[in-house]
Amino acid sequence: MDLDAVLRALADGTRRVIIDELAEREEQSLFEICVRLTEKHGIAISRQAVSKHLGILEAAGLIAVEWRGRTKLHSLEPAPLRALGRGWLANYVFEKESDK
């Protein structure tokens, strides 16, 4: 896992919303993600902008892509988030015995 790529991907609020949406409902097309961003979150951005965000998330390993016919479906890949939580973040989030 490239920690820097994951953290850069998570640094953007729109990408975090996309991750939340994919966690709630797997296998969404670009169109479905755009609709959910607009209707549920009031985020009105172009399909091209959403596509760029998805590319960054995919490059960081945070989403998986599957083609079904001519439709590209996006799903959350939670492994990098879990690794981040169990690895580097665990040093700061969880209370250590010496901190008590």
pTM greater than 0.95: no
CATH number of this structure's domain 3-93: 1.10.10.10
- pLDDT-derived band of residue 85, with 50, 70 and 90 as boundaries? confident
The pLDDT tens digits of the residues spanning 1-35 come to 799 999 999 999 999 999 999 999 999 999 999 99
Q: What is the pLDDT of residue 86?
A: 87
Q: Is 83 exposed, middle or buried (0-12, 13-18, 19+ CB in 10 A)?
A: middle
Query: Domain spans of the chain?
Result: 3-93
The pair of structure tokens assigned to 29 is 């097309």
**Terminal-to-terminal C-alpha distance of the chain:** 32
